[in-house]
Amino acid sequence: MKKKHVTRKPRKERALAAGVSALAVTLAFTGGLSLHTQSVLAQSEPEAKMVANSLGESRNAVQAAYSVRGVHNDAEVISRLNANVYESEHFQFLWGNGGEYKKVTKAFLEGNAKILEDNWGLFINKLKMTPPTRSVHEWIRDNKDYKVNVVILGTGLHLYEGGWAFAGLDSQGYPYLMCAPDAMSPRVQPGLPVPHEFGHVVQFAQGSNSWRGNDSLGPWSEAVGNWFREEYTSSDVYKQQSGTEGATDFSALYLRASTLTAVNGRAYYEAWPLLKYLEENPDGLPGYGSGFVAKLLQSGKPEDPTESIYELIQRINPQVKVQEMIGRFASRMATFDFRNQKLYKRNVENMLRYGELYWHQYYTMMLKVDGSDNVYTIPSERAPQATGYNIIPLDVKIPLNASSATVRVKLDGLAKVNGAGWQAYLIVENENGKSRYSRSFGNGESVQEEVIKGEKAYLSVAATPTLESMQKTKIGIGSWQRKFSEKVIPFESKPQYPYQVTLENAEPQIRKAEESAGIRGHVHRNGGGFVADTARVDDSVYVAKNAKVLDNATVTGNVRIEDSAVVRGAARVSGSAKITDYALVCGSAQVGESATLSGYAIADGSAKITGHGHVGDQAVVTEQAEVSEYGKVVESALLKGYYTVSGHAVVKGLSIGHGGVSKREHGGATGQAVTYGDFFDDMGYTISGGSFAGYESLEASVKNFRDGYARSDGKGGYMR
């Protein structure tokens, strides 16, 4: 589990060694996160009574082949001598008699033990992992197998007074997990931290913790934790215990970031689908499949702490070029064509239904090249970085008197960098949800596929440069370590790989216009557009012929709703605002004064666009976010929470402004500030000048590194 506001220490100060007292937080020993260290003293007397006896059990009557040991923090050991103990076949639970200890009941322990034992059976047996029963340090091992310790946080144990859910190694190198009672559950449920944290425990045991010290692999460890949990929540045992068809962590965070190099700051826990592909191997590629992730975790090279995951994959499976694997993985993401496709599709449908994800944030709408009837290019901000990809739904043009059409696609790369490459596929999904795939094609190449009426077609394009080009910039998370910070490795130094496609008998889909079929309404007298009888629209408002006002929307004043724009829900548009193109105002959003929405922009939730504020292109402003004065939100940017854009500030690219907990405490952009690229801020900073990119780059610069990337403007804001 990620911790914010942690003091980072040089790796040599954080490395685990015998005799160094340490409590590990999540993945400190893999180089992914920082390590909390503290001195400890041996206890002279027991701290707690043996609650196991009060449960009518002695050592839980468990006689197994596994020995038990305490959690060692140098001289201090937490064990049955000073803590309560409950045992199952592979686990030893330890807790105290303070804090929230009353939540630790017999049912609580039995339920959690059952979940962990189910995890053990899946992770160790099916996924072919080495059991986490011995120290990661070979010189400490005594040829005994030990039960995994589970420390229950916040129950009065010294050094474990607080926290939520972590995994780590004790000072003798034995993996263990630490969870608060509220992070545990005696009943199976989606999103439970325990399988994720136990996944970390298992990861530590692979190859003597072979990923340790590698700052490029470290961020992938959180994806590994979520992959373990995903394997559990989609397993037969989970389905049986939960009485459901399973659960998934398929995430809008990951889908929005699919064009960026994985992993990135905004989606590293969520990047597990690539691991799912490698383990399932749905395309039957040689060298991948069952047990591959175990091999991946066992094959790190601590002597090479800069090896990336793609170099690692290529090294342990030279039978397939990593570029081909990336391209095939991207093609599967068009229809989420994995073993748990039904779960994934249902999850995405719910995200779209409830506004957690907007259609055009994952699916890419291309731009028609001027002067051409059938050539389309990628929007600049959506051009993929290395290993990133685009999914482009196609509208197939089948003649009225025909039952099918042959779709042809030609790809031309536009990147002017050495080693550039692309892997593209044409995907056709039939009415039964079964997908078929074209052969791969790259720069200057074409493919064709017949598409039958009723089938869906997609184009996937992945950026697959040479491995050498891919690794020129080692990617970590810039808010964790200075060497990956936005000042050291700026967004523009990470190549993007734009391209264009030539299509025959198809064109890229656009976000569908809102339908009015079946809605009772009338033609508006000023412009001829459709107005639902439930909506309120002043006669002074202009509603163009193809525009619509639906539901309970209110439009007053001299507003102009032009082209195919739509206002719906409980939205209110007033003043001299202008809504054009395919823009959408919905939810309870308010657009007023001289504000404008254009392109495929969306104002949703309780968003407010006022003054001369402008939202355009494919941008989304939702929840309580506000755009005022001359602020602009354009390209594929997203504003959420209470984030504000004012002055002459511009938020563009793939920026996400996610601001604050209240109207009084939030972040924003004002003055002449510009955000671009992969900017993400949810820490409440206000920027007033200069250009910013990067994940939590302000927090990293101001709090963590103090590197001058951001400096105070003396008025409560920050500038470049």
The whole-angstrom separation of Cα 309 and Cα 296 is 9
Beta strand ranges found along 64-118 (DSSP E): 71-73, 76-78, 84-87, 91-95
Measure CA 697 to chain center: 18
The whole-angstrom separation of Cα 220 and Cα 226 is 10
The whole-angstrom separation of Cα 462 and Cα 518 is 41
So what's the pLDDT on residue 665? 81
Task: Assess whether pLDDT exceeds 50 at residue 355.
Answer: yes
Lowest-pLDDT choice from 2-16, 50-64, 317-331, 494-508: 2-16
So what's the pLDDT on residue 515? 80
**166 φ, ψ (degrees, to nearest 5):** -140, 165
Q: Give tens-digit pLDDT for 74-87.
A: 999 999 999 999 99
H-run or E-run covering 446: strand 446-452
> Using an 8 Å Cβ cutoff, are 404 and 451 in contact?
yes
| Spatial CA neighbour of 366 closest among 498, 505, 564, 463 | 498
So what's the pLDDT on residue 608? 98
So what's the pLDDT on residue 471? 77
Q: What domains are defined for the chain?
A: 11-218 (no CATH), 252-353 (no CATH), 359-508 (2.60.120.510), 534-719 (2.160.10)
Q: How confident is the model at residue 64 (pLDDT cuts 50, 70, 90)?
A: low
Q: Give tens-digit pLDDT for 2-58.
A: 333 222 222 222 222 222 223 333 333 333 332 222 222 222 223 333 344 334 343
> Using an 8 Å Cβ cutoff, are 643 and 625 in contact?
yes
Task: Assess whether pLDDT exceeds 90 at residue 188.
Answer: yes
Q: Give tens-digit pLDDT for 514-523.
A: 787 889 999 9
Of the chain, the percentage scoring pLDDT greater than 70 comes to 91
Sequence-ordered list of residues with C-beta below 8 angstroms from that of 109, at least 6 positions apart, any chain: 86, 93, 186
Lowest-pLDDT choice from 433-447, 450-464, 471-485: 471-485
So what's the pLDDT on residue 659? 81
DSSP letter at 366? Answer: P
Higher pLDDT, 197 or 304: 197
Q: Give tens-digit pLDDT for 379-430.
A: 999 999 999 999 999 999 999 999 999 999 999 999 988 899 999 999 999 9
Q: Give tens-digit pLDDT for 245-269.
A: 999 999 999 999 999 999 899 999 9
Sign of CA dihedral 695, 701, 702, 708: negative
Task: Assess whether pLDDT exceeds 60 at residue 556.
Answer: yes
DSSP letter at 482? Answer: G
| Spatial CA neighbour of 50 closest among 94, 90, 88, 91 | 94
So what's the pLDDT on residue 62? 43
So what's the pLDDT on residue 475? 78
